[in-house]
Amino acid sequence: MSKLLEQSTNFQVVAKFLGVILKDGYRVKYLRVAIAAQEYWIKLPKELSHKFDRNLSVGSWLEIYGTQTLERKKGILKMEASSFMTVNEPNDLLKPMVNEQKAIAKPKNQTACILICQKSDCWQRGGKEVYQRLEEQLSDRGLSDLVQIQKTGCQKQCKQAPNLVVMPNKARHSNVRPSQVDGLLNRYFGNTIV
């Protein structure tokens, strides 16, 4: 990717530990952390993954150093840790201790995507209109480049058609009506900085 479309900087952050995302069922691939009430996924390279203490309690505080890359075209912020350590809970004056790059971060869009079932039960029972409404609303809000809409195969919830899933939260919504699209977008992407 062209460097013009990417911007990498170092970051240092104090964040609350929320859990991990595993790869292949065992390797810790991402740390899930909260920074100022937003959830971020920070990638762990293999060497750090091996050292990760699996007894770390949810709610612990971590000081994390690493590199963040903003893919401007997709509006995706990728964060990778180079080191981290547990720290005491910061006082209110210090949290969140995030460098200035955070000002342009779009954490909710790290992998922002709406997966909408396009199989017949969903599509014919209103999924198509929901899809169209999503497209219109994302466009109106200037979010088309940041939130992808992806059509999927059957999501195995045909009786509750139409169905969609909002990523990265993996939040499933069934019996979705076009009139609910605005509320859905407000709920998941309402604070997005464009």
Q: By CB under 6 A, name the binding residues for ligand FES.
A: 117, 119, 121-122, 154-158, 161, 163
Q: Based on CB atoms, which residue is closest to ligand FES, 144 or 180?
A: 180
Residue with tokens 């939260």: 169
> Least Å distance between CB 138 and ligand FES?
21
Q: Based on CB atoms, which residue is closest to ligand FES, 113 or 158?
A: 158
> Least Å distance between CB 129 and ligand FES?
14
How far lies 149's CA from each of 29, 105, 114, 133, 184, in Å?
A: 25, 21, 5, 11, 13
DSSP H or E segment with residue 21: strand 6-23
Pairing assessment for the beta strands 164-167 and 171-173 based on DSSP bridges: antiparallel
How many other CB atoms are there within 10 angstroms of residue 30's CB atom?
21
> Least Å distance between CB 132 and ligand FES?
17
Whether the CA torsion 139, 141, 145, 149 is positive or negative: it is: negative
Q: Based on CB atoms, which residue is closest to ligand FES, 28 or 166?
A: 166
Q: Based on CB atoms, which residue is closest to ligand FES, 97 or 158?
A: 158
Closest of 7, 22, 10 to residue 80, by C-alpha: 10
> Least Å distance between CB 131 and ligand FES?
12
> Least Å distance between CB 115 and ligand FES?
11
Q: Based on CB atoms, which residue is closest to ligand FES, 143 or 161?
A: 161
Both structure tokens of 4: 């013009």
